[in-house]
């Protein structure tokens, strides 16, 4: 027994060591071969297929740089990234949501890009998404896309209900949805309001957008206090609540997957989600839909919550200038070929891309490209993640349980202010 156990142990350790070898860093001696870069992608599923295809195309299009792309499940991506950054072991290029940049900029984890990106390239970017990547005057990343909340609607249902004008205000939506229910028996709206596998952020995103549309804002301008416990907030929350409880044109206890499936199966007329849904929706046979920027429920400007995927370069222990240059080239190429990324539904950020025929030929995207004009990014503050997640829970409860708007908002204000105070 002893002999065989020891033998097995030795064998096991040997196996472990042989197969467990870390990436042997290529000898630092000058390599004539291509520069090898690493990238961690948080895009899985449909998004992932398009993104991976772009990286493949990049690798094929030139011989100087080889980009190695590893996918990490989006749920765990930031955990892994932050842990790696703590050890200065992050990859050469990373993707980072614009809203998360503030977690990495103040502590010097990202390389300022001002001296690496040419003016011509910078001028090609649309102003708003680009300035969202600037902090303290320095540029820390380049935006790959903007993805606002937009509206999708089922043309067949609208036709069946005899609605020929798309509703353009909160009241018009109420009327239209009631008609749809009467004439077709289908749901007017599929706004998710319950967290399941995916968090029900749509409610918060719509609430956020509606605040701005009415001329208000979610937080005060200095980001120090909540700013939604007022008439604007009540109006918005009541609309969201009433659609579910009073007019019953939006199902209750609807989670993200169910909302999307409901629209896909033609059971709901209006669907609100980020532009990323386009790629999935257009693959559905027999779904006759259209997309448009978020309507101006209130006021005249359709301000819409908007996120943005940006590409950045982490600071390394020994920053290799060749790799930085290669990384910048990669970022440049990816953003300049935004029409490929647009296949996933996202809106490109470079003016040259919007002009390309390939982009113009894509259905639906052109319809909401204009949404970028009224894109409202979330506030840039360290506390935002917690505020966003917590408000989401509270709005979920308010809508699904039909809580009194005034009380719910007062409570939410207290909680949000409490969070801000802790940071």
Partner 1 sequence: MESNDVFRTKKKISWVLLRILEVFLILCWIFPLIWLVITSLKLEGEVVTKNFTFWPQHPTFANYTKAFTSTYILNWMWNSLVVSTVTMLLTVAVDAPIAYAFAKINFKGKNVLFWAVMAGMMVPFQVLIVPLYLQFNSYGMVNTLTAALLPRVAMPIGIFILKQFFEDIPSALEEAAFIDGANRFTIFHRIILPLGKASIMTVVILSFINAWNDFLWPLIVINDTVKYTITVGIANFQGTQGTQYSLIMAGAAIASLPQIVFFLIFRKQIIEGIAMSGIKG
Partner 2 sequence: MIPGNKDTRDGILFSLPFLVIFALFMVYPLLFGLYISFFKWNILSTPQFCGMQNYIGLFHDQKFYTSLWHTVEFVLITTPVLLVMGFAMALAVTGKSPLRDLMETVFFLPYIFSMTVVATLWAWLMQKDFGIFNQVIVSLGGSRVSWLTNDKWAIWSVCIATFWWTAGFNMVLFTAGIKQIPKEVYESAQIDGANYWQCLNHITIPLVSHTTILCLILQVIASFNVFGQVYVMTGGGPAGSTRVLVQYIYENGFQYFKMGYSAAMSYILFIIVLLVSVLQYVLLGRKKEE
> What are the C-alpha distances in Å from 329 to residues 59, 113, 142, 311?
12, 12, 12, 12
- Interface mask (CB under 8 A) for partner 2, residues 308-347, using x and -? ----------------------------------------
As given in the structure block, the two tokens for residue 147 are: 């993805």
CB 420, CB 222: distance < 8 Å: no
* 195 near partner 2, judged by CB under 8 A: yes
Residue list 18-57, contact with partner 2 (CB under 8 A):
none
User: Distances in Å between the alpha carbon of 254 and those of 121, 127, 399?
Assistant: 43, 37, 11
Nearer to partner 1, 72 or 377 (CB): 72
CA-to-CA distance for 349 and 84, rounded, in angstroms? 29
* Selected binder of partner 1 within 53, 59, 74, 411 (CB under 8 A): 74
- Which of 312, 338, 341 has its CA nearest to residue 327? 312
Contact (Cβ atoms closer than 8 angstroms) between residue 201 and residue 376: no
Q: How many residues bind partner 1 (CB under 8 A)?
A: 51
What's the CA gap between 81 and 231, in Å, rounded? 41
Residue 20 as a binder of partner 1 (CB under 8 A): the answer is yes
- For position 388 contacting partner 1 by CB under 8 A, the verdict is no
276 binds, among partner 1, partner 2, none (CB under 5 to 8 A by kind): partner 1
Q: At 342, give phi and psi (nearest 5°).
A: -65, -20
Structure tokens that stand for 96 in this block: 């980072």
| Nearest to partner 2 of 128, 408 (CB atom) | 408
Residue 260 in the binding site for partner 1 (CB under 8 A): yes
Mark 29-58 with x for binding to partner 1 (rule: CB under 8 A) and - for no binding: ---------x-x-xxxxxxx----------
Phi, psi at 339, each rounded to 5°: -70, -25
Distance CA 270, CA 262 (A): 10
What number of chain residues touch partner 2 (CB under 8 A)? 37
Please report whether residue 280 would count as binding partner 1 according to CB under 8 A.
yes
Nearer Cβ to partner 1 (160/261): 261
- Contacted entry of partner 2, partner 1, none for residue 140, CB cut-off 5 to 8 Å set by kind: none
Decide which of partner 2, partner 1, none touches 195; Cβ closer than 5 to 8 Å per partner kind: partner 2
Q: Do 344 and 51 form a contact (C-beta atoms < 8 A)?
A: yes
Binding mask 73-92 for partner 2 (x = CB under 8 A): -----xx--xx-xx------
Cα 5 to Cα 7: distance, rounded to the nearest angstrom = 5
Query: Site residues (CB under 8 A) for partner 1?
Result: 1-2, 5, 8-9, 12-13, 15-17, 19-23, 38, 40, 42-48, 68, 70-76, 79-80, 83-84, 86-87, 89, 91, 197, 257, 260-261, 264-265, 274, 276-277, 280, 285
Query: Site residues (CB under 8 A) for partner 2?
Result: 78-79, 82-83, 85-86, 103-104, 106-107, 109, 194-200, 253-255, 257-258, 261-262, 382-383, 385-386, 389-390, 393-394, 396-397, 400, 422
């Amino acid at each position: 027994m002893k002999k065989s156990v020891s033998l097995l142990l030795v064998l096991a350790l040997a196996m472990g060591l042989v197969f467990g070898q870390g990436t042997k860093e290529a000898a630092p001696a000058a390599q004539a071969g291509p520069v090898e870069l690493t990238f961690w992608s948080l895009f899985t599923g449909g998004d992932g297929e398009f993104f991976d295809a772009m990286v493949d195309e990049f690798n094929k299009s030139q011989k100087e740089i080889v980009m190695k792309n590893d996918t990490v499940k989006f749920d765990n991506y930031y955990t892994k990234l932050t842990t790696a950054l703590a050890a200065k072991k992050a990859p050469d290029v990373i993707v980072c949501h614009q809203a998360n940049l503030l977690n990495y900029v103040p502590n010097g984890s990202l390389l300022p890009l001002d001296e690496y990106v040419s003016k011509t390239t910078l001028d090609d970017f649309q102003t708003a998404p680009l300035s969202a990547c600037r902090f303290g005057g320095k540029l820390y990343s380049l935006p790959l896309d903007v993805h606002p909340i937009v509206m999708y609607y089922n043309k067949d249902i609208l036709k069946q209900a005899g609605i020929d004008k798309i509703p353009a205000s909160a009241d018009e939506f109420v009327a239209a949805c009631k008609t749809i229910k009467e004439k077709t028996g289908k749901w007017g709206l599929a706004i998710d309001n319950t967290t399941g596998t995916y968090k029900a952020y749509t409610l918060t995103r719509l609430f956020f957008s509606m605040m701005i549309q009415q001329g208000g804002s979610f937080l005060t301008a200095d980001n120090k206090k909540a700013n939604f416990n007022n008439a604007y907030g009540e109006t918005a929350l009541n609309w969201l609540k009433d659609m579910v409880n009073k007019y019953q044109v939006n199902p209750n206890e609807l989670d993200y997957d169910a909302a999307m499936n409901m629209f896909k199966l033609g059971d709901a007329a209006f669907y609100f989600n980020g532009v990323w849904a386009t790629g999935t929706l257009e693959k559905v046979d027999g779904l006759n839909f259209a997309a448009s920027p978020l309507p101006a429920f209130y006021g005249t400007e359709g301000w819409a919550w908007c996120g943005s995927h940006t590409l950045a370069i982490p600071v390394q222990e020994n920053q290799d200038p060749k790799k930085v240059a290669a990384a910048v080239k990669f970022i440049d190429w990816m953003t300049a070929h935004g029409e490929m990324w647009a296949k996933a539904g996202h809106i490109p950020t470079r003016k040259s891309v919007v002009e390309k025929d390939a982009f113009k030929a894509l259905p639906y995207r052109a319809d909401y490209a204009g949404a970028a004009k009224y894109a409202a990014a979330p506030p840039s503050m360290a506390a935002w993640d917690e505020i966003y997640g917590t408000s989401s829970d509270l709005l979920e409860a308010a809508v699904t349980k039909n809580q009194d708007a005034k009380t719910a908002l007062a409570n939410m204000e207290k909680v949000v202010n409490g969070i801000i105070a802790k940071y």
